[in-house]
């Protein structure tokens, strides 16, 4: 993504990846993402004692993009479908109601082809029925 000032976002084979170690937390990627898939997430630095400043925080009620808190480092976060796990996304495995499923691109294309074929067949049938009805008049 060209908006990232430190080039922490890359497109690898059509998949967007974020290097959270490089990210500076500017939130520009979250602003321009057309899918709303990138979210700012804050964590405090491990092992670093907090320092108290007389600095106000900005409450989350004003919106996630404007929120900030002293001592919290913001990074861009995006779901990678648990690409590190050969068994697939953990959310799918953990979903108690089986409302989530993981499908690959080939399965989606196959389903779309089938749905188009069914729609085309139905369209031909309706056209035939309308033609026959018109001839009966």
Mean pLDDT calculated for residue range 116-134? 76
Flag whether pLDDT at 39 surpasses 70.
yes
pLDDT in the model for residue 109: 93
Predicted model pTM:
0.53
User: Would you place residue 132 in the very low, low, confident or very high pLDDT band (cuts 50, 70, 90)?
Assistant: low
Residue 20 has pLDDT above 60, yes or no: yes
> What SS3 state is found at 54?
coil
85-107: average pLDDT: 89
- Kindly report the average pLDDT of the chain as a whole number: 79
Q: How confident is the model at residue 14 (pLDDT cuts 50, 70, 90)?
A: confident
**pLDDT band at residue 126 under the 50/70/90 scheme:** confident
pLDDT for 94 equals: 93
The pLDDT score that the predictor gives to residue 45 is 53
Show the domains of the chain with their CATH numbers: 1-84 (3.30.70)
């Amino acid at each position: 993504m060209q908006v990232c000032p430190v080039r922490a976002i890359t497109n690898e084979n059509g998949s967007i990846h974020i290097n959270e170690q490089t990210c500076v937390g500017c939130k520009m990627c979250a602003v321009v993402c057309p899918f709303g898939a990138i979210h700012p997430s804050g964590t405090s630095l491990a092992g670093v004692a907090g320092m108290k400043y007389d600095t106000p925080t900005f409450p989350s009620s004003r919106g996630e993009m404007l929120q900030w808190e002293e001592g919290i480092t913001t990074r861009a976060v995006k779901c990678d479908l648990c690409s590190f796990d050969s068994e697939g996304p953990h959310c799918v495995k953990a979903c108690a109601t089986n409302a989530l499923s993981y499908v690959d691109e080939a399965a989606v294309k196959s389903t779309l082809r089938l749905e188009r074929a069914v729609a085309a067949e139905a369209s031909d049938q309706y056209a035939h029925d309308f033609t026959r009805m018109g001839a009966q008049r």
